[in-house]
Amino acid sequence: MSPLPFAKSQPYTMGVELELQLLNRRNYNLATDAVDLLAAIEPAALKEQIKLEITQGMIELNSSIHQNADTLIEELKQLRDAIVTGARRLNIDVAGGGAHPFQKWSEQRITPQERFHFLQDRYGYLAKTFTVFGQHIHIGVESGDDAIYLAHGFARFVPHFIALSAASPHYQGIDTAFDSARSNVVSAFPLSGTLPLLHHWNEFEVYYEELKHAEIIASMKDFYWDIRPKPEYGTVEIRVCDTPLTLEHAAMLAGYAQLLARWLITERPIEIDENFYTLYQYNRFEASRFGLHGAIAVPPARDAKRHAVRMPIQLDILERLQDLQGYAESDIDRFVLRRLSRMTYERLNDAVWLRQTFDERGSLNEMARLAATLWMEETTSPFFR
């Protein structure tokens, strides 16, 4: 029997997890109501899709499996409405964004659950600094081998996802100069980074078993990689996105991942060799720091005998979106490509909106309040209303 069976799922289906901020309505600092909010969710069946997170100012919303971005948006709206109704009872607000702009990590409270207490014991203060808010995108694949290839393939486009989703310019009360300060927080964990350079699922199983045997990990949950296979779901999970400020934006990112997966699995255009991850950290930094203004080192095309070249992230995304036109199967796919193209061309990620709002209103509290209003009352990004 396989030590880590990979559940087969329908290829290119998608689902998302959104980690959300709970804010008190007095000063818009992080609230501590996650447990009470979960208890207040109605109908009770939706509680299955809403989860507690490591600290009590966070809550996670999980979609079910979708073929397209439009049904995903509809489901997210339904979940959003349930959360908002519960939140209003408790007099708290809910917001997207990758990091709360001025919370103090030391003031965060660990959620009273065994796993979270274990993480606090294991990681010390890092557990509380993990109060950051990401969007995880799951893409279904047919086999473990496909999952390994796709996980590596997605890594090439990690800067795209970071730059497009960046929504954490402020952290611990200051403008960090990063578009996505959240990206730096995860890097502190010992099992963060990238999947090892393995090519087949059975190699991965051996690796997994070794780590488990050495008691370095207990389960797949202990890997904090940017992209990781999720064998129990039969998916590959992209974990580098900040939670966007609006639901539609989250669905657009999932739609992009879906189209990329179709292309990557169908054409296998990327060679995963020993140099594949050489410039990964540099590219990741550029996207986190400069967002859609960054420039990444792009590897040479297959078989080409030349070195990597620096290319603006904006241009790299636009080229990819153009190429993916051939993989768009529906109107919503084409809408995803159009929307992301415009977002990229005009460099309109959420970090821009947050900085603009702070400049206009002059306070991080007020910025947090307006971000919450956006998440609770709007579906479309403010740049596209």
Partner 1 sequence: MPWNFPIPSVTLPIPWNPLILFGTLLISGLLGAQLIARISWIPRISGYLLIGFILGSGGLNWLTGDMADVMRIFADIAVALTVYQLGRYVDLAWLVRERWLLLNIVLSALLTFGLTWYLLERFGISRSTAMLTGIFAIGTSPAIVMAVMRDLRAEGHITRRLAAMSALNNFIALLAAYVLLPALASEKSATALTLISHTAYSLGGSFLLAYCTYLLMMPLARWLGRQRTQQFVLVIAILTITLGAAHALHLPVLLTMLAFAILSRNLDHRYDLMELEFGIVGELFIVLMFVSFGASMQLRHWSSIAIPVLLVVAARCVAIGTTTFALARPARLSWKQAAWFSIGSLPLTESGFGLIQISAVYPNTTAEFVPFIVGSLFVLEILGPIATQFALIKSGECGHV
Nearer to partner 1, 35 or 348 (CB): 35
Judged by CB under 8 A, does residue 269 bind partner 1? Answer: no
Least Å distance, CB 181 to partner 1, is: 22
For residue 218, give both structure tokens: 């207990």
Least Å distance, CB 27 to partner 1, is: 4
Nearer to partner 1, 36 or 142 (CB): 36
Choice from 143, 187, 202, 363 touching partner 1 (CB under 8 A): 363
Choice from 8, 10, 39, 356 touching partner 1 (CB under 8 A): 39
Of 121-129, 203-211, 346-354, 363-371: span binding partner 1 (CB under 8 A): 363-371
- Give the separation between CA 249 and CA 379, rounded to whole angstroms: 8
Size of the site for partner 1 (CB under 8 A): 24
Judged by CB under 8 A, does residue 93 bind partner 1? Answer: no
Judged by CB under 8 A, does residue 366 bind partner 1? Answer: yes
Choice from 46, 84, 90, 211 touching partner 1 (CB under 8 A): 90
- Residues β-bridged to residue 113: none
Choice from 17, 19, 33, 350 touching partner 1 (CB under 8 A): 33
Element containing residue 93 per DSSP (H, E): strand 92-95
Distance of CA 305 to CAs 216, 278, 299, 300, 302, Å? 40, 17, 11, 7, 9
Least Å distance, CB 364 to partner 1, is: 9
Cα-Cα-Cα-Cα dihedral sign, residues 289, 52, 172, 373: positive
- Give the separation between CA 237 and CA 255, rounded to whole angstroms: 14
- Residues β-bridged to residue 311: 296
| Distance linking the first and last C-alpha atoms of the chain | 53
Least Å distance, CB 54 to partner 1, is: 15
Judged by CB under 8 A, does residue 361 bind partner 1? Answer: yes
Judged by CB under 8 A, does residue 107 bind partner 1? Answer: yes
Q: How far is CA 58 from the centre of its chain?
A: 15
Which residues, 6 or more positions from 285, have their beta carbon under 8 angstroms from its beta carbon?
A: none
Judged by CB under 8 A, does residue 24 bind partner 1? Answer: yes
Nearer to partner 1, 80 or 249 (CB): 80
Residue 168 CB burial class (10 angstroms; 0-12, 13-18, ≥19) = buried
Q: How far is CA 253 from the centre of its chain?
A: 9
Angle between helices 313-323 and 280-290 (to 10 degrees): 100
For residue 210, give both structure tokens: 């070794």
Of 217-225, 235-243, 301-309, 358-366: span binding partner 1 (CB under 8 A): 358-366
Judged by CB under 8 A, does residue 128 bind partner 1? Answer: no
362 sits in the region (left: phi over 0; alpha: psi -120 to 50; else beta) called left
Of 87-95, 124-132, 146-154, 212-220: span binding partner 1 (CB under 8 A): 87-95
Chain residues in the site for partner 1 (CB under 8 A): 24-27, 31-33, 35-36, 39-40, 88-91, 107, 109, 112, 361-363, 365-366, 369
